Structure 1
Amino acid sequence: MELDTKFKVFITSTTLIVGSASFVYLISKFNKRCRNAIDALNYLTIVTVTKESECNIVVGELRRRCKFHRAVGFDCEWVTEHGKKRPVALVQLSTFDGYCGLFRLNLLQTVPNSLKELLNDVNIYKVGVAPSDDAKYLQADYNINLKSTLDVRHLAVLCRHHPGGLGSLSKSLLNIILDKSWRVRCSNWEADTLTDAQVKYAAADAHVAIKIFVKLIDKLNKPSKWSMLLGTKGSKDVWNNLDDVCMKFADFYFKVSHALRGIDAVNNPKRIKEVSKTYSNLTRTKPLYHNCFLQAPDGELLCTCDNKKALWYVQKQLADVVTEEPLTVRLRFEPAGRSVGEVGRYYQLTKENKCVVCGNNNSYIRKNVVPREYRKYFPDIMKDHSSHDVLLLCAPCHQRSNVTDQRVRDQLASLCAAPLCNRDSSKYVEDSMQKKARSAARALLNPFATLPAWRRTELERLLLHYYQHDEITTELLQEAADLQVLFENQDYESHGLKVVEFFLEGEGGLLALEEMWRKHFLRSMQPKYMPELWSTKHNEERLRVKYNEGRLNEEQLKAIGVTVSDFSEQYEVIPFGNSN
């Protein structure tokens, strides 16, 4: 009898434990279920701004509420007509606690100073997905200089989380499903009054961005397993040292290929080698400089080079190997020129494989001191021996250098009347609505496609809306399937080309533009480990040597915007002020 009682107690206890565990599991599963944004974000306070007086109040409230996180969620909306983007119509800003300001720039006569100052404040990060693109549009449309933008995908990669769009990050990190239907996304953001769906859509995008930002920073702030076991606090508090994490990503473009490579470094090391072959500007761990020696037929040293170049001469039977360690190759033919003066000796010196700014020698990225967007328009005589302007930087220094370069681009854009990012900045423009119609028609015509009924209905509605027809016919589908979506942009103007043309007409020509970029690099980065004999006037000295040897004529000098007399006179570089 006593045994039966104990057995019953054991069964009851076990049932209670199992039941409790099941209950906890169900609660956990319930909390992790994905909810749509309307339900999940029903606590938001959304204020739509159409007047300057309202703007000042809302900006003040945003500043007050973001003091701890020092960040606001940020996004923009605009209208696209016939493939052409109109000026930004709406700027969305949100704090972590759910206060959202929707600033309708198309209805404001001027952009209020309070909003400009907030967007220009370097101490408050404007977080989102691809915020740098929106910053370019605001600069082009309203001359707003947006600072401290931060793409949350940088932090996602830092937390070893796969970087996706705002929708996928929201779903995976917050369990919130954003409404990304084209009906709202491509709706009229310049309407006199925004619909309830538009307001909630716009606020959700900005608020989810700041939620993702805080979630990822908190993840970085989480103590390690070892610190928890040892009872210590672990790493320093990220929120009190936010700039240590965020500053290196501020105003820096997120490149998906680089990010995927970083994730693959942990999960799939073999993938790194495959990607490196495709993207030459990725972080490299192998040395760039092999410091092989290339000699003239009489044994005079011409330059140092890499293994591949040296062995190419040998394989083509144009040279012989003199020594294998260090690899020294002697040419069988007389080269076009020899090393003359300090400019020639620069190419004879061995180079170190380390960051020229801080000395880091673990990994590095090649830095083009004169950006390719300008150099690609230079004549060939200036592009020869371009290795002088290719330096090694570690990833953090490379990012910082790119940020400082943007300031010089802005100055050049103003000086040379060469807009960086006008709304027609692409050589070809794409009609987004025609592309959607074409894709829909091709999907409906595809005999092998197994479309769900709801998807087929959605595609048919899109086509009916585009053509303003009442029914879908075979002729309509065929016409839509053949729609042209890419058109040559008649208003296209290349920023780099306009800058090059401007300097060609100015004193010093392209040599002045080149020297300006080199001086900017030295001034802004203050490198401690520059190659010996590296010079801001390198090309001027090199071309003077070629001219004195009779290997350069006046026509070639004219192609770079200088005359013979320029080589005997010192010219002044156009001042751009402090680039730090």
Structure 2
Amino acid sequence: MNTSSTLNIALTSAIALGFAGITYVVLRKSLKQKASHVAPDNLNINLITSEEDSEDAVNELRRRSARYHAIGFDCEWVSDQGKKHPVALLQLSTNDGYCALFRLSHLKSIPNCLKDLLEDGDIYKVGVSPGNDVKYLAKDYSVYTKSTLDIRHLAELCNYEPGGLGSLSKALLGIELDKSWRIRCSDWEAEELTERQITYAALDAHVALKIFVKLVNDYNKTPQFSPSRRNSTEHWNNISQFCSKYLDIGYKTKNKAKNDKECKEKKSKGTKEVVSKRYTHATRSKPLYHNCLLTAPDGELLSTCDDKKAKWYVENELADTVCAEPLTVRLRFEPAGRSVGAAGRYYQLSKENRCVVCGAGHSFIRKNVVPREYRKHFPEVMKEHSSHDVLLLCAACHQRSNARDQPVRERLAARCGAPLAPLAHARTSEDAACRNIRSAARALLHGSRKHVLPEARRRKLESVVLQHYLQHDEITTELLEEAANIQVAFENDDYESHGSKVVEHYRRHDGLLRLEQEWREHFLESMRPQHLPALWSVTHTAERLQVRQNEGRLSEDDLKLLAM
């Protein structure tokens, strides 16, 4: 074969390989684009731009969500040079493919029917990180969405990797979502949305709900689920038992990943895990209720009480022991009042030492239904006999309850002009310069004892101290000890307590009894306790004070203060 033929063959092969490569790249790109736009065929997408359309859409969402008690939930907005605009688009979807895209930027406000749907605690709003969307809806439109559920909680429960919506969709549904930054950061306030925007927005809400349904059905087949309901659809009628502990609770991926990594490292090194003994709320190992009996001189039952209180009366010769089991003591003096009506009988009843929400019988934390930041500003006449609003919750229920209290605080802040103060406006603040002086002095004292400070570091720390104490020319032990104890925290002159401002607002407008009742109503609605003490009542204080008023035991000032 001559040289010319060899060159022709090489050139032909190169051209063929080139075409093959180009064809491969084009096909790969085409397949990738096709995969990123995969969408269920049964989507029924509705753009909502008027209040009339909103009402029809909400009715349809309610009707179609009846079986699963949930809707897919997501929001979109525009950010301009780092500044976020109000939420422009709200996406809600049902499992059968009905998607309502509410163009809030065109509606300008949220219709009442849509507001009622978002604030309906019986319908779950499921998605990934729905808490952020809820926060922005509250800030932009004063709508306080209830019963949000981050599907990553359920993914973890079912032993799936709790990633983002895109990875969950691909892994669980086989649907690859379009997650290009160009579409995510597009103009959601545009006069007309593109087809790609519409599909992207609808799928985000719809896929979240499809994942939710799959996860609940998967969990229904696991051994830990009740055998009587396995492989049936009855679990959807009992969905609250499965999901209630995750409602309105954020999913903290970073902390979880870090903790998991630390645990793995400790196990690999054979290090014994040390459990921290610092708790935000200490749990009780001893019972709260001893159900001792306190009676009047004529033997009439006044109330139950703990053993310490009963023994205190006896030890101070104010009562006599009548019976040892149950411990019963009889007062030697006539009490200010007797137990009258349902409010009085509440204190006569025995109380159970168990979580009032789920019934757990161990590791309790006392829950203040009306948070102390408000109750501490109440008048004494309302703080007397306040045990009605102190209930037992297990640690898990206590955590959920506190998380669900935050939206109420935010509503009160907006309604009463009582902002929840950021750190800059806290009661006290630290002076940075004084903190540096104290740190330098303590380092010098410590270094002097241990002889470990490098000379350059020592000179730098000494200059920090001497710049403050200009009257001193040299560092002495006495000077360092003074600097090491320098005041760092100072009272903020412009500090205003959120709790006191809310209480003052209600005192002047709706009355403090109304504030107290709102917190009790919120507890019932958000936690749905199944084991409340008998006769526990939202209007308990009003009933109790009414009895006192009838008996002439309330002053005119009390009546005015309480707006009775």
**Which TM-score applies when normalising by structure 1?**
0.49
**Bigger relative contact order (CA 8 A; separation at least 6):** 1
* Structure of larger gyration radius: 2
